[in-house]
Amino acid sequence: MVEKLINSRSASDFKHIRTVLIANRGEIACRIISSCKKFGLKSVAIYSKEDTDSLHVSQSDKAVLLPGSGSQAYINIDSIIDVAIKVKADVVIPGYGFLSENSTFAQKLQQHGILFSGPSAESVEEFGLKHIARSLAINSKVPVVPGTDLVETLEDAKAEGAKIGYPLMLKSTAGGGGMGLKVCENENQLKQFFNEVKSRGQSLFNHTGVFIEKYVQNARHIEIQLFGNGLGDVITFGERECSIQRRHQKVIEESPSPFVDFEMRKQLSGCAISLASSVKYKSAGTIEFLVDDDTGDFYFLEMNTRLQVEHGISELVYGIDLVYLMLLQSDYEAAKSGIPLKTLQEQSNSSWRHDLLEPTGHSIEVRVYAENPVKDFAPSPGILHQVEFPPRESIRIDHWVSTGTKISPYFDPLLAKIMCWGKDRKTATDNLIAYLEDVKLHGPPTNLAYLIDILKTEKFNQGFTLTSFLNSLKFQPSLIEFEEAGAYTTIQDLPGRPTVSGGIPRSGPVDPLSLQIANIIVGNDKYTECLEINLSGPILKFHSSAIIALAGANFEFKINGEDKPLFT
């Protein structure tokens, strides 16, 4: 089992903290609650009115309703601190998103004598602005993409663009999550996007600053997981390949990277340690690099001063628990200290090679979203009618949903992170595909079939997954889209419900013989469900090839605009 890969740890490790407030929701809140339970810490959840029935509310030891609604409730610093004071929280752990990289939140907690399980407010602020993070990287001798400091005007941007060369990337310095980025192929596009990126930075991040970097076309997105004790000691737990992205948002991640060998891992880790130790970084963090697939050159991209969404795959191949480490660091901070370096080095069950931890096996994660791939990945809120994640060897699932869960339109539509560990990459891939095909998520559309298609591609299996990979992927699901439903068109099967009680009426097709004939024509079992049309038929769009048969009373129907006979 996956759990066996993680070293056993004890509740007695915690000497000072007892109550943990989780300033988040969804799967990450459930993930943190799991570690709290494991180590005997009291978990306090917060929730908005939309999340009243969410899993993190019922799983926690205590849950407190926040004022306000939607995502705004989870970023109201004062109300969350009020809750922390009332429940006598020793520490607040933010997860990712919301207030996880908000330096004001960290500062205000400190002012109230409450620990923030994360980096210092200074580190959050410095690395939160990409142009400052870039300067820190340069000072630490970490390679950066050719680029600029902040550019104030379009004329300045045009002059810098001429020096750097096209294509280039226009970036909001305060941007994150793939937002505030524009690739410019030429000066005309730079003119077109310059003010757009500035205004988007203001509206989303309250900062208009933009800068320019050379755009690396054949690139990989590779990140190093690190942990610091605030005393200048930093340890790394290998790399994650996060190149499979849609609109700069990660979709599938894996560890280790199929592209990175020991020497590159050593160089990347060395750069990460150099940068993080220069600011005496504490807690979990990730340094992201852009790697040129053609040359192998790598460049600092940014630092995430928080727990990453994809942290679980590093935990699987290095036998660690990053949430445990974050809370343990807070426990040491309560005593004005930090986790000793020796204790950090003993966390992993992996072997050491030249001062570098070696990964054990291979792990892959897919992010399952309530979104519709055939509608340009639009979020798909609604009620999940059936949820089944069958337990299986070497599979780990971080999720927050169950049968009956209502998916709100007010939050990120992430439902689950499904991770698979294997002795090698092929084993992990094959086992993950097999598992995903057994998962049941019925209700609103999800990207589950899309994820399976990605994992089955030749490029993925060869490890040739650049950041541009999904741009060329053609997804053709076995899907029927109802453009018009049709009056009194229902789904029926045999035998239906011939004998029921308790006020439930009988059901089944009006014309059972025609249902069986249509199924026999297409080669189905004759009792398979069909569409039964009683008044006017639907307009259907088939997203893949299909065999279609109609049987019954005489009526007209068309396929691709052409009349077709019945019983064929």
The matching CATH number, chosen from 3.30.720.200, 3.40.640.10, 3.50.50.60, 3.30.1490.20, for 147-214 is 3.30.1490.20
Q: What is the pLDDT of residue 7?
A: 55
For residue 204, give the amino acid letter: L
Residue pair 288/302 in contact by the 8 Å Cβ criterion: yes
Are 126-142+218-357 and 362-456 in the same CATH fold?
yes
Closest residue by Cα to residue 220 from 264, 285, 266: 264
Q: What is the pLDDT of residue 506?
A: 78
Please give the C-alpha separations between residue 145 and each of 104, 163, 213, 267, in angstroms, as whole numbers: 30, 14, 6, 16
> Which residues have C-beta within 8 Å of that of residue 226, sequence separation ≥ 6?
234, 235, 236, 237, 272, 273, 276, 281, 284, 285, 286, 287
Sign of the CA dihedral with 32 first, then 321, 430, and 240 last: positive
Please, which pLDDT band fits residue 337 given cuts at 50, 70 and 90? very high
- The answer to which of 133-147, 285-299, 455-469, 546-560 has the lowest mean pLDDT is 546-560
What are the sequence ranges of the domains in the chain? 17-117, 126-142+218-357, 147-214, 362-456, 480-564
Give the strand pairing for 115-116 and 91-93: parallel
Residue 513, pLDDT > 50, answer yes
* CA–CA distance, 266 with 352 (Å, rounded to integer): 12
Strands (E), 23-174: 42-47, 62-65, 91-93, 115-116, 168-172
Residue 114, pLDDT > 60, answer yes
| CATH code that applies to domain 126-142+218-357 | 3.30.470.20
pLDDT digits (tens, 9 = 90+) for 465-485: 999 999 989 898 888 888 888
Residue pair 105/39 in contact by the 8 Å Cβ criterion: no
Q: Which CATH superfamily is domain 362-456 in?
A: ATP-grasp fold, B domain (3.30.470.20)
Please, which pLDDT band fits residue 220 given cuts at 50, 70 and 90? very high
* CA–CA distance, 408 with 568 (Å, rounded to integer): 44
Q: What is the pTM of this model?
A: 0.91
Sign of the CA dihedral with 115 first, then 330, 89, and 105 last: positive
Residue 567, pLDDT > 90, answer no
Its CATH architecture, for the domain 17-117, is 3-Layer(aba) Sandwich (3.40)
pLDDT digits (tens, 9 = 90+) for 32-76: 999 999 999 999 999 999 999 999 999 999 999 999 999 999 999
Q: What is the mean pLDDT of residues 361-377?
A: 96
Residue 501, pLDDT > 90, answer no
* CA–CA distance, 276 with 233 (Å, rounded to integer): 9
pLDDT digits (tens, 9 = 90+) for 250-264: 999 999 999 999 999
| DSSP, res 505 | P
Cα 86 to chain centroid distance, Å, stands at: 32
The 3-state DSSP composition of the chain as helix, strand, coil percent (nearest 5) reads: 35, 25, 40
User: What is the three-class DSSP state of 49?
Assistant: helix
Closest residue by Cα to residue 531 from 548, 555, 556, 554: 548
